[in-house]
Amino acid sequence: MKKILITGASGQIGTELTTYLQSVYGHDQVVASGRHDDIRHHAIYEKLDVLSAVQLIEVIRKHQIDSVIHLAAILSAQGEKNPEALWQINMNGLYNVLEAAKETSAAVFTPSSIAAFGPETPLDHTPQLTIQRPRTIYGISKVAGELLCDYYHHHFGVDTRGVRFPGLISHEALPGGGTTDYAVHIFYKAIETGQFSCDLGPETFLDMMYMPDALRAVVELMEADPAKLQHRNAYNISAMSFSPSQLAKEIQKHLPEFRMDYDVNPVKQAIADSWPNSLDDSCARAQWGWRPEYDLSAMTSHMLKVLGSRSR
């Protein structure tokens, strides 16, 4: 990647990825974009609606973009409240990005998710290639997106790549309506009040990842030798799998007075129960050298250290 456009740059991933890519490629090589005027980014910024293919092509040509990191999307829990809006943004937006990439020869990274799997999928060590029958509109859009990216690569030669992200944990940006959001909010509440009410059950295991690993995965995949990529869209990647009760116990090692109760959200719980407990990411490890750096212990320690320093 040399000149990069990020769509959805104000979201949980985009906020941090913009800064990270600037540190890797240079400040002037990254263009952040979103549907609204946004002055939070210390970056070149374009107001851009992914539902306009014309705007996409104009921005790509204006800045001589060679790689698009397409993050504009509605997440799982919010999507169940408004499936029509999700389909518009997640699918028509991706279609427009791929059409723009076809016209401009840009490469495209678009993330898939553990939501691409469903209750018939093996729950533990979910294989790279397995049955995908999700029961959420978000998951359906992710499966369709994986297939659409494959189609544009095989039929039009677009350099499409992606990963299936697990739940992402960040100390920089709050999540935006996903099923795994509790694993971020719990840290803020542990620091602020010493207690947290979790909207998933205590033994709900889900794959998770600390944001620094997720950011690094984007760059490493996009810089990987294309000849070695057998599963372009999208690779399982994993770092840790834990339940809310395990996360609470890990936090209590640092904050012994922390307490958590449960107020289970039935919609989120049903979604979480349909997702894998853990992913097999051996293909990503073998084909482009994927290795996570943070486990549950290291992530918890770092999250509490950073958030604790801000609260003083």
User: What positions carry a catalytic annotation?
Assistant: 138
Q: Which residues contact 244 (CB under 8 A, 6 or more apart)?
A: 182, 183, 186, 198, 200, 201, 202, 203, 204, 260, 262
Give the sheet arrangement for strand 30-34, strand by strand: 44-47, 30-34, 4-7, 67-70, 107-109, 160-161
Structure tokens at 153: 């690569």
Contact call for residues 43 and 57 (beta carbons, < 8 A) = no
CA distance 99 to 52: 11
- In terms of DSSP H, where are the helices of 76-122? 76-81, 83-87, 93-104
What is the full DSSP assignment across 233-296? S-EE--SEEE-HHHHHHHHHTT-TT-EEEE---HHHHHHHHTS-S-B--HHHHHHH-------H
